[in-house]
Chain A
Amino acid sequence: MNKALTCRETTYLVISARDEPLEQAQQQALAAHLQTCTYCRTANAQFTTLFAQLDALLARGVQP
């Protein structure tokens, strides 16, 4: 079992998942951390909302 993630490392994973899929071990470590950390659950929800708003602003998925 790998060392538990810090909150800061959690932000690296949540953010890089926007560009490239996480490896399975990273996904598991992230899920484990989120289960125990309310700050990171909140931050994760904030990033999800932020990314959805960026998609809307930049018309991601909209066909001309």
Chain B
Amino acid sequence: MSDADPWRQLAQERPFLLRLARLQLASAADAEDAVQEALLGAMKAWDSYAGRAGLRSWLTAILRHKIVDAIRARRFQAPLPDSASDDDGGEFDPLFTSDDAWHPDSFVDTVCGATKEAERQLLDIIEVCVNRLPEDTARLFLMREYLGMELKEIEASCTISSGNLRVTLYRARMRLRECAVRGWGELE
């Protein structure tokens, strides 16, 4: 088999897709189903794909629709982070001074210009960082960032308060920034 074999190429992206799906859907079986449907759909549409976008990107977009369909069919478990509170619990205090200015000792100032060559590596860093988020946080974060749901929809379908949701998204993005800037630093 060569790399041009569609199934082989699709199979290589399967673990990434499954991680995304498992964060969104109630059961492992539902996640498997969504990924399987996405891959079968991709196989059928293979001729129209013809490498026009990155393969992962194309599959990720197909899977998004399968997951949204599954959620609409109510095969969805609302995450209920009982422990979530309306403040950030002091998690990011070390980043700031007592006046809430950035602390010069803990501030990482790496900014990464996304060159074409480094793109793949940068995406790997972000993926690693997303995978390090706690599961409930990742689920809410991806409903917003991946499924593109509005805050109000997420609040309604997860019975989470507006304050909790905002704090959860804030924490996720602050953690991702910390994780990412350290990874960018290692590329230099």
Q: Footprint of B on A, CB under 8 Å?
A: 6-9, 11-12, 15-16, 18-20, 37, 39-40, 42-43, 45-47, 49-50, 52-54, 56-60, 62-64
Q: Which of A9, A58, A64 has the most CB of B within 10 A?
A: A64
**Which of B102, B111, B130, B173 is within 8 Å of A57, CB to CB?**
B130
- B169 close to chain A: CB less than 8 A: yes
Can you list 12 A-B pairs with a CB-CB distance of less than 8 A?
A: A12-B170, A39-B101, A43-B177, A45-B111, A53-B180, A54-B176, A56-B57, A56-B119, A57-B60, A57-B123, A60-B148, A62-B60
Distance between Cα atoms of A45 and B108 in the complex (Å): 12
Whether B10 is near chain A, meaning CB under 8 Å from some CB there, is no
> B99: which of A6, A42, A62 is its contact (CB, 8 Å)?
A6
The interface-forming segment of B1-9, B27-35, B61-69, B70-78 is B61-69
CA A59 to CA B125, docked complex, whole Å: 16
CB distance from B101 to the nearest CB of A (A): 5
Q: Which of A37, A42, A52, A59 contacts B109 (CB 8 A)?
A: A42
Q: How far is the CA of A25 from the CA of B176 in the complex (A)?
A: 27
B-to-A contact residues, CB < 8 Å: 41, 45, 53, 56-58, 60-62, 64-65, 92, 96, 99-102, 104, 107, 109-114, 119, 122-123, 125-127, 130, 142, 144-146, 148, 151, 166, 169-170, 173-174, 176-177, 180-181
